[in-house]
Structure 1
Amino acid sequence: MILKWVNKDMNEEKFKFIKADNKTYPWYCIDKIAFRGYFFINGVFYSKNDAVNKILELIDSMGFDRTLAMLNGFFSIVYNDREITYFANDRLRAFPLFYSKINNMVIISSDINKIIQITNDNHRIRYNNESINEFKITSLFVSGEKTLINGIYQVEAGQIITLVKKTNSITKRFYFRYNHDNLLDISEKYIKNKLKIDFNSVYYEETGRDLVESLNGRTAVVPLSGGADSRMIVSMLNKFHYHNVICFTYGDIDSSETMISKKVASEYNFEWHFIKYGKKTWKWLKDQDIYNNYLNYGGSYTSCPHIQDFYAVYYLKREGIIPKDCVFIPGHSGDMLAGSHITKDFIESNYIDQSKLADLIIKKHYPYIDKTKLPVNTIKNDILKNLIKKEKYSSEEATNEYEFFDIIERQAKFICNSVRVYEFFGYEWRMPLWDNRLINFWSGLPIDMRYQRKFYFEAIGNEKIESTNDKTAYKNITAFIRNRIPFLRIISRYIFRAKDYYLHPFKWGQIVTFNKYLFYLLEGGEYFEINYIIMKEYLEKLGKNLGK
């Protein structure tokens, strides 16, 4: 279905919105607005037409920008006013939105393939070679507004795009940035007492309450690993006596992840299921049309499709274990917000210059940079494009920019983009750990409290069951080798990655032959991981479609 808003004063079409056939979270259109997603305001859950009407009410009273900042949830919005058209995403780009400008017309859709069909003559797709090269060295995403297709762009996380019809001009701005503002002056006594009370209040009483209300009695399905974040999800549900819960995990029945997951589910008396992953799993899956269709849907020419729990969700649906109206609740991305990505560079330095900041971002998010044909300065300039530019940053300021890049790129386009799996199979999802109130809580803590998730583990330190986050002798030894003996580090990484083909609990390297796995391992180098394979296979499939 194509909805057209025509600027009658200009007597020419300026804007076309293509309403994609989204089975999960479909678009709702009333008057001047198109909306998909959900949000909370003051403890009230809004979705579907109720959400559209509420947004129209808010825009009339406070304008577009202030309205978006007020919405606590996940959404895409297209608002077509008389003189200006706005389109925007939530703080996490949870629902990707794409656009292209052809002559005097702007085309917008949540399905990039719809735009490709219109903007490319004879359906010939034109690759953006610079984007492809960047994708190969991140293995996870194309940064900024770019996609893999020339002339088609994505709306970024927390961004508003404005189309002024009279001048046919487009401007962009972020209405959200992750900043350490209004940092608390915290004493040791405050850390031990008041702050934990604040955390539990925000997490359980506010975020948990809203989550349970939004479920409205439907089955909550939790991908329960051995880590802390998914543990917090089931703890939250239990706190509100919500027992219509199904937990699942996957991989190897004897892995620590599986054993801890089972113990946690048993602790809360929640239903638990295990899905075995093996060579036959991936060999069978790779040849299925459903898997190849998902790669297209999950990647959308911007991201490496997230496949980790694809087969598990497929299995749960096929076997009738989960109801049609269930809601998946993953633990994204409690660890990152709690500070797991902050490195010692930000703790040990009072100031960090612009070049050093770009280097730290490259080190974290561009593991295959030595394989690129792109000049490093080109990559640095792209990285700095969305950051606040200063010759020298304080440690807090540098952390702001470092984590902001992480959020709008890695988190938005890969980690949290994994919810495409649930949508693909027709299920809704929630991501309570990205609640605005939790974002504000974490951004109010000094970085030394968030470094290595110091406060996070203090706040949840009374858990009875072990976690894969716990320190072990093996982890301590490998950390020592990684930090102190570079030569052994490189050799050990190659050895461990090679053995992962057969011994990794998920066995997902076996989606390719062992010879091809070794080829990718040697090609990827020291920092090779499974997503490098998925990225290469994804590009190969796209190449066949593009005739390249």
Structure 2
Amino acid sequence: MQTALRADGWTRVDGVAVRGRAFDGEALLEGTALASRFADARGAEPTLDSVASVAADLEGFFAAVVRGPDATYLVADGARSIPLYCDSGGTIVADRGRVVRDALEAEPDPVAESEFLLARYVTGPETIWAGVRAIQPGEIVRIGTEGITRRTYRDYWPAGPADRRTGSSLTPSDRPRARLESAFERALDRLERVAGDRPVVVPLSGGYDSRLLASTLVERDRDVIGFTFGRSGHPDVEASREVADRLGIRWEFCDYDGETWREWYRGPAGLEYRRRAFGGDALPFLAEWPAVRQLVAEGRLPADALYCPGHTVATPSERLPRFAPEGERDASTTANVGCGPAVDADEDADDRATIEPSLESLVDYVLERHYALWDWNDEAFERAARERIRRGLLGGRDPDAATDPAGAAAAYERWEWRGRMATFTNGDCRVYEDAGLEWWLPLWDPAYVRAWKRVPLERRRGKGLHADLAVEHYRRAADVPRERAGLTDRTLSPIDRHLALVRHAPARQFTERDGGWEPPFLAPRSSWSEPGNHPLSWYAIVDDGLFDRLPPFRNLYALRTLAATDRLDVADPTGPIPDDSTLELPTQDCD
């Protein structure tokens, strides 16, 4: 079997290749030590059980390829932070899906490609290329002469005990918080071990996730640097400007505009990044890619720091529907706590539907909410998608597991963990690798994952308990009233957007706004889907003449999925375009 591991950082020892870092108890393993941990456990002939036992004991962010005399084993961590791919026949393993595609000369997979076009990611082990398979989060794949066997050694089913407010548990209200706080401190201890004496860089947004990281690291007297990107006046920019100032940390800002976006996207660096980062299962993360490259190139962010994005296991809880038996929404349990700068206008927790707690209602909810970049009407794909969603929701469990609010919520969050977060969102790590930077995901630390799984539903909803931690740590670290500590990009007032620069970064007035007082970006969230009003200015990657010809579409992701599958050239004003807003899917002619 051919092995093609192209990314930097792979270490090979005695038939084992590893990348990343992991804790084995209190020991931090990387490089040779991590490879030897798998090699020692392998013995003369590794088995699925022996490799799974090693992987289950490791807590961190890693991937491994373990060769034995009769089989090869591929291992992904619980966040699938480092991708691995193979072909369905077991002839090639690679860390880039395109390498496997090229080796097979693979044709498109109609179902997976349709899913990608509508959602910007593929939710199962398939990719948009037939026969190219991705290793799933918390999974081991055995490739032998008798075929391929897959096993999940680390699953995610957050059916924590019910909260007192549901009337079905006597769990003390402070126990989940104490448990989550303790797990978070353990995750931070590990982060500090990985960082050593290096500064920690946090991509700071207007939400709570990155605020939680920055605040607690300040409380620990770490050297913290924050950075933000977009247009001056954007709520994310102004909220993060204030957070950095109140925490007393250095803050760097990359100002986006249309002309530079065209240069970034269409230039050789942009083309190469998208080629490497696209594994056929998720659209490459783009929003912060130019900011990271530019700020590092200009020396405004250090190349030797540890970069810690705020992506978190709590995010799937933010998009939970309400379940009919739960009654009316408690506004105190919802929050907008996004980990990165907001780029869409439709991520409001208050807009969630109320559905029955059942498997088919969840399938309907996922289809409506996540398969929505384009209008579509395709019975063949709908049948296939429904079956894919059912598998992702249950993970082999009986359908009865999703017939009450706690079970239905767990099923939905599992679907997001395996389908959306571990493919699309955690793909953000490729941005840092492209710039030659080291990263760590503290809010995906397995200790924090375990604690979040045990949080009751009503305190997970809207990431409520997670948000509470963020507000409390920020309040203490910044010495601000709790009301001020709770402000996010969604609740920042217009006057705050106007005054943020004067209050918190007055020296930047002449470098950032040429002496102007009024922010250049004041568009309301409801208008962000209009190309000229987007806070990142990234619609400029599309040729102006092309806009006049395009049918209505949801957002830039819709056009980017077409571009990634060679259906659209965003730089060509005369090239082929969709006939209308109802997209014809590759499954259209499938029976």
Moved more, 315-324 or 219-228: 315-324
Q: How does 1:443-482 map to 2 (within 5 A)?
A: 443-462=453-472, 463=475, 464=480, 465-468=485-488, 471=491
Q: Is contact 1:76–1:89 with CA below 8 Å preserved after alignment?
A: yes
Cα deviation, 1:61-114, whole Å, max 9, x if unaligned, reads 982212212211111111122333221211121111111145xx5211112333
Counterpart code for 1:534 = R
Q: Is contact 1:89–1:96 with CA below 8 Å preserved after alignment?
A: yes
1:402 paired with 2:409, answer no
What corresponds to 1:341 in structure 2? 319
Q: Is contact 1:325–1:427 with CA below 8 Å preserved after alignment?
A: yes
Cα deviation, 1:191-238, whole Å, max 9, x if unaligned, reads 55444333222212x111110110111232211111100001112322
Q: Report the CA distance between 1:399 and its aligned residue.
A: 1.7
Counterpart code for 1:19 = L
Cα 1:47–1:64, aligned 2, differ >3 Å: closer, same or farther? same
CA distance in 1, matches of 2:67, 2:302: 37
Q: How does 1:187-206 map to 2 (within 5 A)?
A: 193-204=174-185, 206=186
Q: Report the CA distance between 1:118 and its aligned residue.
A: 2.7
After TM superposition, the score normalised by the length of structure 1 is 0.82
Q: Is contact 1:133–1:372 with CA below 8 Å preserved after alignment?
A: no
Aligned residues: 494
The equivalent position to 1:90 in structure 2, one of 53, 77, 80, is 77
Cα 1:312–1:237, aligned 2, differ >3 Å: closer, same or farther? same
The equivalent position to 2:92 in structure 1, one of 91, 98, 107, is 107
Q: Report the CA distance between 1:186 and its aligned residue.
A: 5.6
Counterpart code for 1:163 = I
What corresponds to 1:233 in structure 2? 213
| Bigger relative CO (Cα 8 Å, ≥ 6 apart) | 2
1:174 paired with 2:155, answer no
Q: Is contact 1:250–1:312 with CA below 8 Å preserved after alignment?
A: yes
Partner secondary structure for residue 300 of structure 1 = coil
Counterpart code for 2:290 = Y
Q: How does 1:467-546 map to 2 (within 5 A)?
A: 467-468=487-488, 471=491, 496-497=527-528, 500-514=530-544, 516-517=546-547, 522-524=551-553, 528-540=554-566
CA distance in 1, matches of 2:172, 2:260: 47
**Structure 1 unpaired stretches of 5+:** 1-14, 475-491
CA distance in 2, matches of 1:470, 1:543: 34
What corresponds to 1:44 in structure 2? 27
Moved more, 179-188 or 438-447: 179-188
Q: Is contact 2:88–2:133 with CA below 8 Å preserved after alignment?
A: no
Q: Is contact 1:422–1:428 with CA below 8 Å preserved after alignment?
A: yes
Q: Is contact 1:228–1:469 with CA below 8 Å preserved after alignment?
A: no
CA distance in 2, matches of 1:151, 1:470: 43
The equivalent position to 1:326 in structure 2, one of 286, 305, 310, is 305
Q: Is contact 1:96–1:110 with CA below 8 Å preserved after alignment?
A: yes
Cα deviation, 1:427-471, whole Å, max 9, x if unaligned, reads 111110001111111110221221223323333443334532664
Partner secondary structure for residue 566 of structure 2 = helix
What corresponds to 1:12 in structure 2? none
CA distance in 1, matches of 2:541, 2:555: 13
Counterpart code for 1:66 = S
1:73 paired with 2:104, answer no
Partner secondary structure for residue 178 of structure 1 = coil
Counterpart code for 2:96 = D
The equivalent position to 2:232 in structure 1, one of 253, 259, 277, is 253
Partner secondary structure for residue 197 of structure 2 = coil
Q: How does 1:275-424 map to 2 (within 5 A)?
A: 275-333=254-312, 335-336=314-315, 339-345=317-323, 347-348=326-327, 352-368=357-373, 370-373=375-378, 374-386=380-392, 387=394, 388-390=397-399, 393-424=403-434
Counterpart code for 1:406 = E
Cα deviation, 1:249-296, whole Å, max 9, x if unaligned, reads 111122222222122222232211111001112122122011011111
CA distance in 2, matches of 1:150, 1:136: 15
Q: Is contact 2:314–2:452 with CA below 8 Å preserved after alignment?
A: no
1:18 paired with 2:4, answer yes
The equivalent position to 2:121 in structure 1, one of 141, 144, 148, is 141
Q: Report the CA distance between 1:160 and its aligned residue.
A: 1.5
Cα 1:368–1:507, aligned 2, differ >3 Å: closer, same or farther? closer
Q: Is contact 1:59–1:67 with CA below 8 Å preserved after alignment?
A: no
Q: Is contact 1:137–1:372 with CA below 8 Å preserved after alignment?
A: no
Cα 1:350–1:100, aligned 2, differ >3 Å: closer, same or farther? closer
CA distance in 2, matches of 1:198, 1:130: 42
Partner secondary structure for residue 275 of structure 1 = strand
Q: Report the CA distance between 1:495 and its aligned residue.
A: 7.1
CA distance in 2, matches of 1:235, 1:472: 19
CA distance in 2, matches of 1:504, 1:269: 30
CA distance in 2, matches of 1:507, 1:68: 42
CA distance in 2, matches of 1:277, 1:350: 40
Cα deviation, 1:101-144, whole Å, max 9, x if unaligned, reads 45xx5211112333234323xxxx52223322221111x21221
Partner secondary structure for residue 424 of structure 2 = helix
Cα 1:47–1:362, aligned 2, differ >3 Å: closer, same or farther? same
CA distance in 1, matches of 2:286, 2:556: 10
CA distance in 2, matches of 1:242, 1:473: 31
Cα 1:403–1:519, aligned 2, differ >3 Å: closer, same or farther? farther
Q: Report the CA distance between 1:185 and its aligned residue.
A: 6.8
After TM superposition, the score normalised by the length of structure 2 is 0.77
Q: Report the CA distance between 1:31 and its aligned residue.
A: 1.3
Cα deviation, 1:513-535, whole Å, max 9, x if unaligned, reads 34534655x443xxx12322222
CA distance in 2, matches of 1:432, 1:469: 23
The equivalent position to 1:212 in structure 2, one of 171, 192, 199, is 192
Q: Report the CA distance between 1:29 and its aligned residue.
A: 1.3
CA distance in 2, matches of 1:143, 1:268: 39
CA distance in 1, matches of 2:276, 2:542: 21
Q: Is contact 1:501–1:514 with CA below 8 Å preserved after alignment?
A: no
Cα 1:381–1:213, aligned 2, differ >3 Å: closer, same or farther? same
Q: Report the CA distance between 1:182 and its aligned residue.
A: 5.9
Partner secondary structure for residue 413 of structure 1 = coil
1:162 paired with 2:142, answer yes
Moved more, 192-201 or 88-97: 192-201
Q: Report the CA distance between 1:372 and its aligned residue.
A: 5.0
